[in-house]
Structure 1
Amino acid sequence: MVNKNTKRAKRFKLLISVVLISALLLGLAGCSSSSENESSSESNINMNQEGLPIVGEPITLNVLTVRWGNMGDTFKQNQWLQELEKQTNVKINWQVMSSNDWGEQKSIMLASGTLPDVILGDIVFSDSDIVNNLSFFRPLDEYIDQYMPNLKEAMGETPEMKRISTFPDGKIYSLPSRLPSRPKSSNQPIINQAWLDRLGLKAPDNTEELYKVFKAFKEQDPNGNGKQDEIPYSGSGDIGVDLLNPFGITDLNGNSMMVKDGKPVFFPVSGEYKEAIKWAHQLYAEGLIDQEIFTQDNTMVTAKQQNPDAAIVGFSNQWIPDAVFGKWKDEYIAIPPIAGPDGQRYQPGEPDGMSLRRNELLITTSCKYPEVVARWADQFYTNEASIQNFWGAIGTVIQKNDDNTYQLMNPPAGTSADAWYWEQSLRDFGPKYVKPDFEKNITLDKNVGDGLKLVIDKYGSEYVTTPFPNVMYSAEEFQELPTLTTDIDSFVRTTRAKWITEGNIDQEWNGYLKKLNDMGLERLIQIRSDAYDRYTSIK
């Protein structure tokens, strides 16, 4: 029986949450102005159609954004953001929430229907949040056409920005971004070069060579500590299907979908997937894959990757090695994708660059001055504005040279480059657009962070497969999807883990296919195919 005090505590916690979020909503409701008697008409706020300032008299916009964990609001110190307030006469009342407890607060906000003027960052509301609450958000097509020349130019140059932002009803409700200096490839093969050198081995090129290297890593004590503690391949069961990449299986967005020959494909029912699982089982059965790969959490993985006494992980798929291997990071190098049985290489990623995002800014129907917000948001869609909102301000994080090139400064001692960028900027969140041909003017440190990733990207970029795109679903489709994906995704994951650890895929394959069909796989593929057709038809 549940303790009565526990029930009271839960009710009290919920009450406090409701009270706090209600207070926040009251503070967020509606734009404010420096003039108490100012009316809500555009003429009374004296908005300029072009140039700066945007408005004659200062007004204040309430802008809600969410940050990861306990990052806080240090990004507000960004000098470009502060100068923008002075230049535009648009003051920002930032409402900064933590992702730790945003889920509960978001539900209360959407239930109440009381929203701030502006939502900034794609972490705030998901596609389904927006599609199921469209009455809270303004269609932006006319505002883009009339007040956002920078964004219009960007969409003309990079049409994918319009494609990813167009909702099923044909309208745009959220603004996109294109992040600067992004790679084409996602996680790539990372191997311990020090181990290879000690054993007199070369980096593996194909699955046969990889198997031999794994065997040597397991049996020949490459870390030299006299123990057989080496783990040839390790990671978490949630790392996706990176181990299956050599067989043409890639899963950039974690939805078990790819695009092959221009058509959406659910790869867990393919012949290539079946053969990949057989290969992975052989590795597991011989102890060449971490025996805890499907049961360990990220803390356990990190403990192995950063084992204090000696490096014990030989190979994995990572974004960059310096982000995960701690003091052993210099032992690891990136290598090209491992060639599969067909002689081809397959790399998860995005052929057009992993830079495009949507839902980075929404204007709510609570806002009295959407024209002002549109003009304000358009200021973010320039090269210099974007790099300062991704890394940090010029003069603080970025050095601008006399030849109009830009160089990132070194972070303070004891701070990683990535952490520093998040402290000093909006980073991944908010509107941005850096022209592709402008990126040659940006110099990044090739030894760490974003610069190192671009160096590593050269190994895999030409082999990047076509992922199933970030399509948009209708409200009706969103009602069906959770039931379908919850059952199907769970069954695919648990079956994959079982087959890799225990085998028997041949004997169980037909029953597996039948159960997926009974769960509604055909309907799931149809929904995703319809969404894909809408996406590709947008011009």
Structure 2
Amino acid sequence: MRKMGFVLASSMLVLSILSACSNNTGEEGNKETGTNTNTEKPASEAPAAETALTEIPLPIASESFTIDYWRANDAKLTASLENFGEMAGYKKKEELTGIKANFTHPPLGQQKDQFNLLIAGSDLPDVIYYNWADAVGGPEKMIEDGRIIRLNELIDQYAPNLKKIIESDPDVKKQIALDDGTIYMFPLLKLDALKLNATSGLIMRKDWLDKLGLKSPTTIDEWHTVLKAFKEKDPNGNGKPDELPFTGNWGPGNLTKLHDFAPAFGLIGGFMMKDGKVTYGPIEPGYKDYLATMAQWYKEGLIDPEIMTNDGKAFDYKVTNNLAGSYQGGVFSGMGKFFNLMRGTDPNFNLTGVASPLAPDGKSYAAFNLNQKVLTYGEAITASADEDKLKYIVQWMDFNYSQQGSDLFNFGVEGESYTKEGDTYKFTDTIVKNPNGLTYDQALATYALSIMDGPINQDSKYLDALLFDQGQKDANAEWMKQSAELTLPPIRLTIDEASQVTSIMSQVNTYYNETMTAIINGTKPVSEFDKMVETIKGMGIDEAIKLHQAAYERYQSK
């Protein structure tokens, strides 16, 4: 799911923001007509004589045709299928609409390189589904270069379902458009943003808490008390001091991964909001207290000394062998997976989600934006698409946002993958107890997009139907209590702004990551923080903050 991803490390946060906050060059084109200055072909012209659709007719076209469609594949789907065209949802969509999608997928893990090769060539498919935050220059550059087209007029005319969502939700209207108002994709939406985005956070062994007579910690001091008890009071009961109070599965990296605890000090580990202005968390005064606390925990052995080198296999071993007391993870990969693995071997095994420790102002802050409704993933129409078929392609895309399309791509085929009673959806044994040995996420991937990512409005009822253990449900509820006030909205940097910020942050990140890691692991004193701040300021962080502030103000004025 997530691929819907949350970024906790400063360096990763900055990279994500820079890629998502792409160039805004649309003002140089013709905004009124939507034409592209570098191609003779109109970007999107809907016949004025036609009445705008109020619903999608089925079948859509009088004669069937095929859409050439490029998107990254997904490991959950490839566990049993070759491509998305074999998914039951797309087969049913073809049956209903009369339009077939011919999918092309780059090799797993090579989508960025293959996208760059694709977009540089002259032979483009009709539709590309991509994380447009990763496109060099952003969607603005893609439009300017005649790679993809502006969709505003086509949506007005032929996409009644997406149009209704845009017009009825001010957040979607802001987040779906570029700074000049251009809409370029049919996106992955999360209209129930808080519930759907609050699917990861801090996780703790509840059975250990119960055994030691402790409650879930709510402050950073209470966290220290609990972690110390995990280390000293043998909660796994094997008579050995082998417990790892806090661990992680980030693989090789640095200790910026501990930024899950930064909100307890009123900040996050990257660009953030403070009193309505953009600032940079690691130079804020509270960051010194954060570093001092993490250094103390590390020295006391409360943090797994292998936290920077654990890979997925090592992490799984530590959780399933009753060594891990707490960590950061998701309701599926960090909880559901281990509930399933431990159910038959340790009936007492239990997990709970814990909200971010309270900040000095008494609020629990999320380290990532819980309120983002429009993700950077979406399907765009290329300038190579047949102009005579544009209106049919748009209708085909819009079908996913209808009630019928939403049910199909969130839950699959009724009677096969799910049943429905009133407003309640329940997945069948085909999904939860797959006869072919597929895990529930692999099984659902053969039917629907919701467990992966795709051009849909992800329905929170899909989440409810997959949270089988009470611990998962409780975790989702706890993480929903967090505030997103510290996080930036999905702002966009222009090409010039992004270039300047990249130049500044490439230096800042390298120096900052090394220094803060050294402070936490004890090779440098906490007093090094003051020097770190001055050095980062000398590298131009104030200018980077200023550019983010300008982008934030543009976002607010949409």
Same fold, judged at TM 0.5 (above): yes
Asked whether the equivalents of residues 256 and 516 of structure 2 are also in contact (C-alpha less than 8 Å), the reply is no
CA distance in structure 2 between the partners assigned to 1:324 and 1:487 by the alignment = 39
Residue 365 (structure 2) pairs with residue 382 (structure 1): no
Distance 1:302 1:482 in 2: 35
Q: What residue in structure 2 maps to residue 418 of structure 1?
A: 441
* 1:491 aligned partner: 511
Choose the corresponding residue for 2:535, options 515, 518, 538. 515
Task: Pick one of 42, 63, 66 that aligns with 2:69.
Answer: 63
Equivalence for 1:348:
367
Query: Which residue of structure 1 aligns with residue 426 of structure 2?
Result: 407
Correspondence for 1:208 among 212, 218, 221 = 221
* CA distance 1:468–1:145, change in 2 (3 Å): same
Q: Is the 8 A contact 2:133 2:376 kept in 1?
A: no
CA distance in structure 2 between the partners assigned to 1:184 and 1:106 by the alignment:
27
Closer, same or farther: CA 276–387 of 1 in aligned 2, 3 Å: farther
Residue 456 of structure 2 is aligned to residue 432 of structure 1: yes
Distance across 1 between alignment mates of 2:392 and 2:134: 22
- Displacement of 1:532: 1.5
Shift of 1:152: 0.9
- Note if 1:177 corresponds to 2:188: yes
Q: Quick one: which amino acid aligns to residue 265 of structure 2?
A: F
Unpaired runs of 5+ in structure 1? 1-40
Is contact 2:353–2:475 with CA below 8 Å preserved after alignment? yes
Unaligned runs of 5+ residues in structure 2 are 1-44, 344-348
Question: What is the total number of aligned residue pairs between the two structures?
Answer: 482
Bigger Cα displacement from structure 2, 141-150 vs 463-472 = 463-472
Contact 1:206 1:338 in 2 (8 A): yes
Q: Report if the CA contact (8 A) 1:168-1:474 is conserved.
A: no
For 1:517 and 1:504, locate their aligned partners in 2 and report how far apart those are by CA, in whole Å: 20
| Percent of matched pairs sharing the same residue | 25
- Where 2:131 maps in the other structure, the secondary structure is coil
1:157 paired residue among 152, 165, 168: 168
Question: CA offsets per residue over residues 58-77 of structure 1, 9 Å max, x none?
Answer: 22210111123474345434
Deviates more, 1:224-233 or 1:480-489: 480-489
1:351–1:372 Cα change, 3 Å: same
Tell which has more relative contact order, 1 or 2 (C-alpha 8 A, sep 6+): 2
Equivalent position to 1:76, from 80, 85, 92: 85
Question: Structure 1 stretch 111-120 or stretch 403-412: which is displaced more?
Answer: 403-412
d(CA) in 2 for partners of 1:531, 1:387? 36
Kindly state the Cα deviation for residue 362 of structure 1 after the two structures are TM-superposed. 0.3
The one-letter code matched in structure 2 to 1:496 is M
C-alpha distance in 2 between matches for 1:465 and 1:347? 5
Measured in 1, the distance between the counterparts of 2:198 and 2:266 equals 15
The one-character-per-residue Cα deviations of 1:264-288 (angstroms, maximum 9, x if unpaired) are 2211111122111111111111111
> Is residue 461 of structure 2 the alignment partner of residue 447 of structure 1?
no
Q: Secondary structure at the match of 1:380?
A: helix
The answer to whether the 8 Å contact 2:72/2:111 transfers is yes
Aligned partners of 1:223, 1:364: CA distance in 2, in Å?
57
Letter in 2 for 1:533: E
The CA distance in 2 between the partners of 1:127 and 1:146, in whole Å, is 30
Return the match for 1:222 from 207, 224, 235.
Answer: 235
Report what 1:332 is aligned to.
Answer: 351
Establish whether residue 126 from structure 1 lines up as the match of residue 135 from structure 2: yes
Q: Distance in 1 between matches of 2:295 and 2:356?
A: 20
SS of structure 1 residue aligned to 2:175 = helix
Q: Secondary structure at the match of 2:115?
A: helix
Q: Give the Cα separation in 2 of the matches to 1:400 and 1:174.
A: 31
**Residue 193 (structure 1) aligns with:** 206
Return closer, same or farther for 1:475/1:510 CA change in 2, 3 Å cut-off: same
Say if 1:315 and 1:363 are closer, same or farther in 2 by CA, change over 3 A: same
RMSD: 3.1
Deviations 1:158-197 (A, max 9, x none): 2222322222343122222324764353533322222223
Pair 1:516–1:233, CA change in 2 (3 A) = same
Describe the SS at the equivalent of 2:137.
helix
Q: Tell whether 2:123 aligns with 1:114.
A: yes
Match of 1:281 in 2: 295
- Deviations, residues 445-499 of structure 1 (Å, cap 9, x unaligned): 4425xx9655422213223222212222323333334333322223222222111
Q: Given that residues 67 and 102 in structure 2 are in contact (C-alpha distance below 8 angstroms), is that contact kept between their aligned partners in structure 1?
A: yes
Judging changes above 3 Å, is the alpha-carbon distance between structure 1 residues 167 and 215 closer, same or farther for their aligned structure 2 residues? same
TM-score by length of 1: 0.80
1:395-451 C-alpha deviation (Å, 9 max, x unpaired): 3322133x354322242154332232223223343322368xxx5798524425xx9
- Contact preservation (8 Å) 1:69, 1:100: no
More deviation, 358-367/318-327: 318-327
For residues 434 and 233 of structure 1, what CA distance do their matches in structure 2 show? 32
Amino acid at match of 1:397: S
User: Does 1:315 pair with 2:343?
Assistant: no
- CA drift of 1:383 comes to 3.0
Aligned to 1:3: none
Structure 2 counterpart of 1:339, one-letter code: L
Q: Distance in 1 between matches of 2:365 and 2:329?
A: 15
Amino acid at match of 1:266: Y
CA–CA distance in 1 between the matches of 2:138 and 2:528?
A: 39
Encode CA deviations 1:370-415: one digit per residue, 9 max, x unaligned.
22211111111123312421342323322133x3543222421543
2:286 is equivalent to residue 263 of structure 1: no
